[in-house]
């Protein structure tokens, strides 16, 4: 009976975790800031953005970090201009991306991922990851700080308004130019590569003055907290900031933390990212530079996460080149590893990464052979079940022995009534005489729990399963079964398992156990079909193994 109790507790705990995550999504802490973003600047601030002005004032917006000659930037106080400004747009098309760059600051205002449609039924509409729409506000900015330097309020000039990666071309360069009356010329160039989500940004500074120029490169993300709605899984997946440094390779900086305090951190070798389910955007500075990372919250409900590079000096009549990189695309582990060390950790498996990674590796290996993610999940489930065959056999043997004792346990219950102490003593005496360990089936289940949870997160986090089909009506393993066939089959398999297991002596516990298939079926109606497929296969294999042990081995 202890084995049954453990199974009950594990199942209930799992349900409670999912309910807590859903509750956090629906009723957890939310930002108090309004979501409105205004697209026109106030009249008083129009002058600093005119072409050729020496500098769009550093204090023109609270979202601009402050330059400091000591290379230890101090952030300005929370502020004063919540306005999102805009100028002309430069449209860029590569083999993987549709991009819109605003000439005001050279911001990346919109990025669509061409290989990732919004839905299976709408394959011609790519998923929009970055956007300056108020309801889905998320942009990437960069600029220069210092004396006569263009920050993200400076107005650039573009040679043309449309760029397209030519057939056979390996890269596409999009230059933006800025100059001032004193003789500082800056060219900000975006470099896009074929087959890559990694974008290079270069600043080429020409100092035509008769004095030194001092400046700093900075980059940042701005975004609002996303609408409070659940993911396709009906469960919570992390959306927010990440800072990776040698001291802490994966530090989550969520919106509540940014709202509570402004982060200020210095390190060398790392990156900053904003992630959501399946997709990530990350600023990747040169690994040999000591950078200053910062966060802040500005009016309009915008959260800022960025970094500043050390101060550099360009002599009179000299040139200087500053560069950074931006990854913006799917959480594809291979691409992420190539982009930067530890960036693959944005595929967030949580505390069980050490188990999840081998499982993902095995799943991917199977997929490379069968070329179908549905069949890959089935074969992976079979392999995991085979690995735990002997542990499961121990558990099922214990169940079979306990079931054999059910009539005697029921007799003890009738004899002792509500005297639980005497009943337990009598039960332990039976176990001792029959040489049965009532906890014999617990260890196999406990050992398998971390593996199950690790596999669960692999199926939840893997972008490869997004819009991956299996067969027949299952066209997207990352969304729920449209006809609820798999959840209903899963419920039937759970009911059969209950019938094969010994009935708990406690009538209340017995009723709860019998209600579990109904509870799980209702919950799994909205789970991704890939995860439900795993449960169906696992339950079917468990039923086969349990029936075999109960009816064959135990008789022998």
H-run or E-run covering 5: helix 2-27
Beta strand pairing call for 89-93 and 162-164:
parallel
Beta strand pairing call for 198-207 and 240-244:
unpaired
Structure tokens at 306: 């960025």
Half-sphere exposure of 478 (CA within 13 A, CB side): 18
Angstrom distance (rounded) from CA 500 to CA 554: 14
Task: Assign 82 to helix, strand or coil.
Answer: coil
H-run or E-run covering 340: none
Q: What is the dihedral of CA 122, 126, 129, 132, to 10 degrees?
A: -100
H-run or E-run covering 48: none
pLDDT tens, the chain, 556 aa long:
444 444 444 554 554 444 444 434 433 444 333 333 333 333 333 322 233 333 333 334 567 776 554 444 444 343 334 457 889 999 999 999 999 999 999 999 999 999 999 988 888 899 999 999 988 899 999 999 987 889 999 999 999 999 999 998 999 999 999 998 888 999 999 999 999 999 999 999 999 999 999 999 999 999 999 875 444 444 668 899 999 999 999 999 999 999 999 999 999 999 999 999 999 999 999 999 999 999 999 888 899 999 999 999 999 999 999 999 999 999 999 999 999 999 999 998 888 888 999 999 999 999 999 999 999 999 999 998 888 777 777 766 666 666 676 677 777 766 766 667 777 777 777 777 766 665 555 666 677 778 888 888 888 888 998 888 888 898 888 888 889 898 999 889 888 877 776 666 566 666 777 777 888 888 888 888 888 998 899 889 888 877 877 676 556 5
Residue 105 is predicted with a pLDDT of: 94
Q: Are residues 429 and 416 in contact, defined by beta-carbon separation less than 8 angstroms? A: no
Per-residue b or e along 173-199, where b marks 16 or more CB atoms closer than 10 Å to that residue's CB: ebbbbbbbeebbebbbbbbbbeebbbb
Residue 549 is predicted with a pLDDT of: 72
Q: Are residues 472 and 436 in contact, defined by beta-carbon separation less than 8 angstroms? A: no
Angstrom distance (rounded) from CA 96 to CA 199: 12
Which of 201, 213, 193 has the alpha carbon at shortest distance from 67? 213
Residue 130 is predicted with a pLDDT of: 96
Which of 295, 240, 248, 283 has the alpha carbon at shortest distance from 267? 248
| pLDDT tens-digit map of 269-326 | 999 999 999 999 999 999 999 999 999 998 888 999 999 999 999 999 999 999 999 9
Q: What is the 3-state secondary structure (H, E, C) of 100-166?
A: EEECECCEEEEEEEEEEEEECCEEEEEEEEEECCHHHCEEEEEEEEECCCCCCCCECEECCCEEECC
Structure tokens at 244: 């990776």
How is the chain split into domains, by residue range? 2-22+354-553, 79-226+282-333
Angstrom distance (rounded) from CA 203 to CA 190: 9
Angstrom distance (rounded) from CA 510 to CA 45: 72
Cα–Cα distances in Å, from 6 out to 11, 337, 534? 9, 40, 22
DSSP-assigned letter for residue 63: T
Residue 217 is predicted with a pLDDT of: 96
Q: Please, what is the end-to-end C-alpha distance for the chain in angstroms?
A: 23
| pLDDT tens-digit map of 69-122 | 444 444 434 333 445 788 999 999 999 999 999 999 999 999 999 999 998 888
Q: What is the pTM of this model?
A: 0.79
* Region at 104 (left for phi over 0; alpha for psi -120 to 50; beta for the rest): beta
Residue 63 is predicted with a pLDDT of: 73
Angstrom distance (rounded) from CA 446 to CA 6: 9
Angstrom distance (rounded) from CA 312 to CA 290: 12
CATH architecture of residue range(s) 79-226+282-333 = Distorted Sandwich (2.70)
Q: Are residues 542 and 500 in contact, defined by beta-carbon separation less than 8 angstroms? A: no
Residue 84 is predicted with a pLDDT of: 76
Q: At which residue do the structure tokens 């900053």 appear?
A: 272
How many helices (H) and strands (E) in the chain? 12, 20
């Amino acid at each position: 009976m202890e084995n049954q109790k453990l199974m009950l507790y594990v199942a209930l705990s799992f349900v409670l975790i999912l309910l807590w995550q859903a509750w956090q999504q629906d009723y957890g802490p939310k930002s108090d800031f309004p979501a409105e973003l205004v697209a026109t600047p106030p009249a008083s601030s129009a002058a600093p953005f005119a072409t050729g002005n020496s500098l769009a004032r550093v204090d023109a917006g609270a979202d601009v970090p402050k330059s400091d000659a000591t290379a230890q930037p101090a952030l300005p106080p929370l502020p004063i201009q919540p306005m999102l400004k805009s100028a002309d747009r430069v449209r860029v098309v590569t083999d993987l991306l549709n991009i819109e760059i605003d000439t005001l600051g050279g911001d990346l205002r919109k990025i669509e991922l061409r290989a990732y449609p919004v839905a299976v039924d709408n394959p011609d509409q790519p998923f929009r990851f970055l956007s300056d729409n108020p309801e889905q506000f998320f942009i990437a900015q960069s600029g220069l700080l210092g004396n006569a330097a263009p920050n993200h309020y400076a107005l650039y000039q573009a040679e043309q308004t449309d760029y397209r990666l030519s057939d056979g071309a390996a890269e596409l360069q999009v230059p933006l130019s800025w100059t001032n009356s004193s003789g500082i010329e800056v060219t900000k160039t975006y470099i896009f590569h074929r087959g890559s989500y990694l974008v290079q940004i270069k600043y080429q500074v020409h100092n035509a003055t008769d004095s030194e120029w001092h400046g700093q490169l900075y980059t940042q993300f701005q975004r609002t907290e996303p609408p409070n709605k659940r993911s396709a899984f009906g469960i919570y997946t992390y959306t927010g900031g990440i800072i990776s440094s040698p001291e802490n390779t994966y530090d989550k900086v969520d919106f509540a933390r940014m709202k509570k305090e402004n982060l200020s951190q210095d390190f060398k070798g790392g990156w900053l990212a904003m992630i959501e389910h399946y997709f990530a955007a990350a600023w990747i500075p040169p690994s040999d530079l000591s950078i200053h990372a910062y966060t802040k919250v500005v009016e309009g409900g915008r959260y800022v996460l960025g970094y500043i590079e050390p101060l550099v000096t360009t002599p009179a009549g000299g040139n200087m080149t500053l560069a950074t990189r931006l990854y913006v695309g799917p959480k594809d582990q291979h691409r992420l590893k190539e982009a930067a060390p530890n960036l693959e950790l944005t595929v967030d498996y949580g505390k069980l990464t050490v188990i999840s990674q081998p499982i993902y590796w095995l799943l991917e290996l199977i997929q490379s052979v069968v070329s179908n993610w549905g069949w890959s999940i089935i074969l992976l489930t079979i392999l995991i079940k085979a690995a735990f065959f002997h542990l499961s056999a121990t558990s099922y043997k214990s169940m079979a022995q306990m079931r054999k004792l059910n009539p005697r346990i029921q007799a003890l219950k009738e004899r002792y009534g509500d005297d639980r102490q005497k009943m337990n003593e009598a039960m332990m005496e039976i176990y001792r005489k029959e040489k049965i360990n009532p906890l014999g089936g617990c260890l196999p289940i406990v050992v398998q729990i971390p593996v199950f949870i690790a596999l669960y997160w692999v199926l939840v986090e893997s972008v490869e399963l997004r819009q991956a089909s299996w067969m027949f009506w299952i066209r997207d393993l990352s969304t729920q079964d449209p006809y609820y066939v798999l959840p209903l089959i899963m419920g039937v398999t759970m009911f059969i398992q209950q019938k094969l297991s010994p009935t708990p002596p406690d009538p209340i516990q017995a009723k709860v156990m019998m209600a579990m298939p109904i509870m799980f079926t209702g919950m799994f109606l909205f789970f991704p079909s890939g995860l439900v497929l795993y449960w169906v296969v696992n339950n079917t294999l468990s039923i086969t193994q349990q029936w075999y042990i109960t009816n064959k081995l135990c008789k022998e």
